[in-house]
Amino acid sequence: MSHHLVVRVIAKFLIPFIMLFGLYVQFHGDFGPGGGFQAGVIFASAFILYALVFGVETARKVVPDWVVRTGIALGGLIFGGTGIVSLLKGGNYLDYSALKADPVAGQHIGILVIELGVGITVASVMTAIFFAFAGRQRKG
Amino acid sequence: MAATIFMVVRLRNLFAVVMLGGIYSLLAAALLVVLDAVDVAFTEAAVGAGISTVLALGALSLTTSQEKEPSRRPLYTLAVLFVVSVTGAALIFGSLDMPLFGDPAAPIHGHVADTYLAEGQAATGVPNIVTAVLASYRGFDTLGEVMVIFTAGIGVLLAFASAQAGRKPDDEVGGGEDDE
């Protein structure tokens, strides 16, 4: 699709806004609708749009495979690691109140961090699945 | 929505079916907004109408966009009809016991929902109660969900990697010409 000028220009124009919206949904999930799952998908859709317009190989140069694969594991580790941290601080597993002296502030931080973990994993998995599908050639 | 489903069943062109699936998800998202479930609607619009459609199109580009003609053997059709009717009847029978829509006495309102709504904001400092329940009260559930997505991603990567590895020696020999 790389020869369609209008599509290319519009996609270039849209991608930063899609990413910004993804970040907004990620970090504003406490106050409005949204959260890690939705933000991850929106963020991944920015990469998928890029790959659709400029080709999968170009997109692979922007986000190399090792970044995607690390992201898949990193998100889960952040989530599980938050639980371990609260365990070390004397609370139950995933009990965010133990993260800080003030339980409400601890809850707030815990929710932000695990949502970040969710977002990273979802975005990486969606990108990885799309790359896996689109990177294959049709059987002859 | 019923019209989309009817067309999905009737159509043989899978490209149109995928597109109708996306439209169905968008309608479902609109319905969820009407029901005040904005978070779920958001997910449905992003995942159902967005990513699933793109992935299904990716799958179509790897396979074929035309569905096979169904088998017309009468015994087979009869068996399928029987299984579908029995399952459908069982599902409708099960739904008879369900509480009415919006019934305040429904079991779902009798357990922890009131506590969450009353104390959630004070306990977590998070105004969006859906996020509070999802991330804090149901932290283990959400961790499990993330692990499901993690497993799905690893599974797809492995499946495609092994398919690639299986094809590589074939390509080096000269791809498919050996068959003749």
Give the closest-approach CA distance of A138 to chain B in angstroms. 5
Give phi and psi for A67, each to the nearest 5.
-65, -45
| Average pLDDT for A104-116 | 84
Residue type present at position A38: Q
Give the closest-approach CA distance of A62 to chain B in angstroms. 19
What is the b/e burial string over A62-96, where b = at least 16 CB atoms within 10 angstroms of the residue's CB? ebeeeebeebbebbbbbbbebbebbeeeebeebbb
Per-residue pLDDT at A2: 55
A117 inside 8 A of chain B by CB: yes
Domain that holds residue A58: 5-134
Mean pLDDT across chain B, nearest whole number? Answer: 79
Evaluate whether residue A140 is within a structural domain. no
Higher pLDDT, A44 or B63: A44
Q: What domain count does chain A have?
A: 1
Evaluate whether residue A90 is within a structural domain. yes
Q: Is the pLDDT of residue B152 over 80?
A: yes
Q: How many CB pairs under 8 A join A and B?
A: 141
Determine what percent of chain B is predicted with pLDDT higher than 70: 87
A18 inside 8 A of chain B by CB: no
A75 inside 8 A of chain B by CB: yes
Q: What span, in angstroms and rounded, lies between the C-alpha atoms of B127 and A33?
A: 10
Evaluate whether residue A79 is within a structural domain. yes
Determine what percent of chain A is predicted with pLDDT higher than 70: 95
| pLDDT per position as a tens digit, B52-91 | 888 888 888 888 777 777 777 788 888 989 999 999 999 9
Higher pLDDT, B19 or A136: B19
Q: Is the pLDDT of residue A76 over 70?
A: yes
Distances (CA, A) of A109 to A25, B26, B120, B144, B169: 16, 33, 15, 20, 51
Q: Is the pLDDT of residue B175 over 50?
A: no
Per-residue pLDDT at B68: 76
CA of A68: which chain B residue's CA is closest?
Answer: B153
Per-residue pLDDT at B87: 95
CA of A111: which chain B residue's CA is closest?
Answer: B135
Per-residue pLDDT at A139: 47
Evaluate whether residue A23 is within a structural domain. yes
| Average pLDDT for A72-86 | 88
A59 inside 8 A of chain B by CB: no
What is the maximum alpha-carbon separation in chain B?
73
Task: Please classify residue B132 by burial: count the beta carbons closer than 10 Å to its beta carbon, then call 0-12 exposed, 13-18 middle and 19+ buried.
Answer: buried
ipTM of the complex: 0.80
Which one of A75, A108, A125 has the shortest CB-CB distance to B125? A108
Least confident of A39-43, B75-79, B118-122: B118-122
Give the closest-approach CA distance of A121 to chain B in angstroms. 7
Taking the model in full, what pTM does it have?
0.77
Per-residue pLDDT at B131: 77
What pLDDT band is residue B104 in, cutting at 50, 70 and 90? confident
Higher pLDDT, B147 or A94: B147
A31 inside 8 A of chain B by CB: yes
Evaluate whether residue A50 is within a structural domain. yes
Evaluate whether residue A139 is within a structural domain. no
Higher pLDDT, B111 or A93: A93
| pLDDT per position as a tens digit, A3-24 | 688 888 998 899 999 999 988 8
Which one of B43, B136, B157 has the shortest CB-CB distance to A96? B136
Tokens for B58? 């990716």
Question: In this complex, do B51 and A44 lie within 8 Å of one another by their Cβ atoms?
Answer: yes
Q: Is the pLDDT of residue A137 over 80?
A: no
Give the closest-approach CA distance of B67 to chain A in angstroms. 17
CA of A26: which chain B residue's CA is closest?
Answer: B131
Give the closest-approach CA distance of B165 to chain A in angstroms. 12
Tokens for B145? 């969900």
Evaluate whether residue A93 is within a structural domain. yes
Q: Is the dihedral of CA A77, A80, A86, A89 positive or negative?
A: negative
CA of B160: which chain A residue's CA is closest?
Answer: A132
